[in-house]
Amino acid sequence: MSEQTTNSSRRQLMIGGAIGALAAAVPALAQSKQSPPAKGGGKESKGSIEALKKLHDSYFKAFAAHDVNGILALFTPNAIILGTGPGEIWGGPEEIGEAHRNFFQAFDPGKQESEVLFRSGNVAGGMAWVTSVSKIRFTKKDGVTEFGLNSLVVFERTGAQWLIRAMHFSNLTAGQAAAKS
């Protein structure tokens, strides 16, 4: 096996579990209580936070269904995803779509659970962010994987619609158990 093939295979294994875990974290982010928006939290910030919750829900539903087109509809055309290690970067619809097709191989649809241990976010004009630390559990056939995941999602408002502009996730090692609190 060539070095390039070995690196590609290793990369797919590492990132598959991590992105599957990110999908598991999304519903918990969407359902958890939001931090108060900065500067008093006017009607616009509260409405924007609600829009972000709906976007998280839409991402999770599309991810769980292995719906690449549904996922791509939630990202800006120039969006990027960053993973844990060097070279784990995907930009634009083609790479993000291909990455998700690889990520789907790591879990069975609907067999995901997450527990948010910490979560915070804010809206600032046309940009917003949500960050979290979660304990993730997902199932592939009869195998169960559990580990900790840190994630950050940056949103950009385009017109009246929020879209994902950047996503970053990190974990120590796919398959390593998260610390129990």
* Per-residue model confidence as pLDDT tens for the chain (181 residues): 444 443 444 344 344 444 443 443 343 333 333 333 334 445 556 667 667 767 877 877 787 788 999 999 999 999 999 988 888 999 999 999 999 998 888 888 877 767 778 877 789 989 998 887 878 777 889 898 888 888 899 999 988 889 999 999 888 654 444 444 4
Alpha-carbon Rg for the chain in angstroms: 16
89-91 vs 75-82, strand pairing mode: antiparallel
In CATH, what is the architecture of 3-170?
Roll (3.10)
Residues 91 and 77: beta-carbon distance below 8 Å: no
How far are the Cα atoms of 28, 51, 97 from residue 77, in angstroms, in the given order? 26, 19, 12
